[in-house]
Amino acid sequence: MKKVSARLKDIAVYLPDTVLGNDELAKLYPEWPAEKILEKTGISERRIASEHQTAGDMAYEAARNLFAQGQVAAQDVDFIILCTQAPDYVLPTTACVLQDRLGISRQAGALDINLGCSGFVYGLSMAKGLIETGAARCILLLTADTYSKYIHPLDKSVRTLFGDASAATAVVASEDAEEAIGPFVFGTDGAGAKNLIVEAGMYRLPKSCDTSTEQTDDSGNVRSRENLYMNGAEVMAFSLKEVPKAADTLLLKAGKSKEDIDFFVLHQANKFMLEALRKKLKVPEEKLPITMDDCGNTVSSTIPMALFKLIHQGRLIRGQRLMLVGFGVGYSWAACLLNF
Amino acid sequence: MSEFYEGMAEIFEVDASKISSEFELHSGEAAWDSLAIVSTIALADDCFGVMLEGKALGECKTIADIENLIAAAKKG
């Protein structure tokens, strides 16, 4: 078999129409004026999926945008990977539903992966594996989430940060011998599961009157066990501890140094976390983009969203080398190099 | 003025001259909320290379209490 390598061919994104701005949030949280929210989070607005719009619907829109860009057509796709934590159904797999909706071949493979902020990098690793073993040639990697549906309106600790979005990335087989995606490093620490969680609603803790009871925490945030909960302090400590380590391990594995990297595209969690990580990684501001101003933390879509923006700003061009690092819910993290 | 005190002043959005060991975290000028705690974790890591616990930080009343946590963490 002739050796093929996987490469990223094109990226498209989709943002839902409804805008949630800082002024609206500041009215609900009087102790956090709109300017303070912007300064700390780096976010001026988030987009919110409509009541009946699912992650599957948003993934569909991102895929349509990708096909409209003309680099990849629906009939080229022979494998769909959808990363989401808000699937359309308990079963069947949302990626299967999307095969039909998008008019993709019945010979295509399709699966969902349940990961959050590390999901895009995991998706790339799976796409690479499928392509370089000859199992597929054109992967449609979709990331889509609707965390807004899990968030209590009066929980400022998460509502100020998260936004809904989706991205569609085409990873294709290329006859170039040079590796374009990889190497990878992964990490998991399930002991941190409780620090970023929607506890109730599945089988460990089914929804009940008890789980829907709202409680107010010490910081005045309201939520029930059916809502998203984040222990910001623990998640910050985890990220500061693991992300620089993962970056160093990856550079060592690749035999590269920080100077060889044009952009460090980190999961866009929030501005203060990215600035703390930038200091710790000791990389200059222009090499670690913060691109979440108009969309917030969109979970598994933040990295493709950042890549899309860098391309459209003319900052990211073919031939540049990037480090991608996704980290968060799980805890789960993954990093890779990408020769764009 | 130490880098740590300057950082604390930024977190509380007060003039750096106001920060001392006696500075009260729950005074009218300061908001010792989740965001301030998260920022302090990053600051202590940056200045001293130690990782503080959110829960322990939440129980601090003054800057001196935070400094005690840092000293304990340094001893490891």
Determine the 3-state secondary structure of A228 from DSSP: strand
Average pLDDT over residues A106-132: 98
Asked if the Cβ–Cβ distance from A272 to B38 is below 8 Å, we say: yes
Q: What distance in Å separates residue A236's CA from the closest CA in chain B?
A: 7
- pLDDT surpasses 80 at A183: yes
Determine the 3-state secondary structure of A209 from DSSP: coil
H-run or E-run covering A322: strand A321-328
Asked if the Cβ–Cβ distance from A232 to B35 is below 8 Å, we say: yes
- pLDDT surpasses 70 at A18: yes
Best probe of the A interface among B33, B38, B39, by most A CBs < 10 A, is B38
Average pLDDT over residues A322-326: 98
Measure CA A117 to chain center: 5
pLDDT at A40: 87
pLDDT at A76: 98
Radius of gyration of chain B (CA): 11
If one compares B74 and A94, the residue with the highest pLDDT of the two is: A94
Which residues of chain B does A280 touch, with a Cβ-Cβ cutoff of 8 Å? 45-46
Residue type for position A207:
K
| pTM attached to this predicted model | 0.94
DSSP per-residue letters across A137-194: SEEEEEEEE-GGGTS-TT-HHHHTTB--EEEEEEEEEE--SS--EEEEEEEE-GGGGG
pLDDT-derived band at A199, boundaries 50, 70, 90: very high
What are the φ/ψ torsions at residue B15 (nearest 5 degrees)? -65, 140
Q: Regarding beta strands A228-230 and A5-14, do their DSSP bridges make them parallel or antiparallel, or are they unpaired?
A: unpaired
Asked if the Cβ–Cβ distance from B38 to A279 is below 8 Å, we say: no
pLDDT at A20: 97
Instruction: Please write the tens of the pLDDT for every residue from A250-288.
Output: 999 999 999 999 999 999 999 999 999 999 999 999 999
Question: Cα(A17)–Cα(A245) distance, rounded to whole angstroms?
Answer: 38
- How many residue pairs from chains A and B have C-beta atoms closer than 8 A? 49
DSSP per-residue letters across A34-87: HHHHHHHH--SEEEE--TT--HHHHHHHHHHHHHHTTSS-GGG--EEEEE-SS-
Q: Most distant CA pair in chain A: distance in Å?
A: 64
State the residue for tokens 């705690």. Answer: B37
ipTM, 2 dp: 0.85
Q: A31: nearest CA in chain B? A: B31
pLDDT at B34: 83
> Residues 26-45, chain B: which have Cβ within 8 Å of A?
31, 33-35, 37-39, 41-42, 45
pLDDT at A297: 98
Lowest mean pLDDT among A310-324, B25-39, B56-70: B25-39
* Pair of tokens at residue B40: 């302090």
Of the candidates A272, A11, A241, the residue with the CA atom closest to the CA atom of residue A161: A272
Name the DSSP class of A195.
G
Of the candidates A52, A66, A54, A51, the residue with the CA atom closest to the CA atom of residue A14: A66
Asked if A270 is an active-site residue, the reply is no
DSSP per-residue letters across A95-126: HHHHHHHTT--TT-EEEEE--STTHHHHHHHH
**Mean model confidence pLDDT for chain B:** 90
Which residues of chain B does A279 touch, with a Cβ-Cβ cutoff of 8 Å? 46
Instruction: Please write the tens of the pLDDT for every residue from A208-244.
Output: 999 999 999 988 899 999 999 999 999 999 999 999 9
Q: Is A298 near chain B, with CB under 8 Å?
A: no
Q: A234: nearest CA in chain B? A: B54
Q: Cα(first)–Cα(last) distance of chain B, in Å?
A: 26
Of the candidates A316, A275, A314, A317, the residue with the CA atom closest to the CA atom of residue A292: A275
Vertex A167, ends A162 and A169: CA angle to 5°?
A: 145
* Pair of tokens at residue B35: 């965001």
Are A98 and A82 in contact by the 8 Å Cβ rule? The answer is yes
Asked if the Cβ–Cβ distance from B42 to A31 is below 8 Å, we say: no
Q: Is B46 near chain A, with CB under 8 Å?
A: yes
Asked if the Cβ–Cβ distance from A279 to B53 is below 8 Å, we say: no
Of the candidates A136, A181, A133, the residue with the CA atom closest to the CA atom of residue A307: A181
Asked if A96 is an active-site residue, the reply is no
pLDDT at B26: 86
Q: Is A234 near chain B, with CB under 8 Å?
A: yes
Which residues of chain A does B56 touch, with a Cβ-Cβ cutoff of 8 Å? none
Asked if the Cβ–Cβ distance from B42 to A273 is below 8 Å, we say: yes
Measure CA A317 to chain center: 22
pLDDT at A243: 97
Mention every residue, 6+ apart, whose C-beta is less than 8 A from residue A43: A22, A37, A160, A161, A163, A270, A271, A292, A293, A295, A296, A297
Residue type for position A200:
A
Which residues of chain B does A221 touch, with a Cβ-Cβ cutoff of 8 Å? 34
Are A160 and A230 in contact by the 8 Å Cβ rule? The answer is no
Q: Is A245 near chain B, with CB under 8 Å?
A: no
pLDDT at B33: 85
- pLDDT surpasses 60 at B1: no
Q: Regarding beta strands A181-188 and A165-174, do their DSSP bridges make them parallel or antiparallel, or are they unpaired?
A: unpaired
Asked if A117 is an active-site residue, the reply is yes
pLDDT at A1: 59
**Mean model confidence pLDDT for chain A:** 96
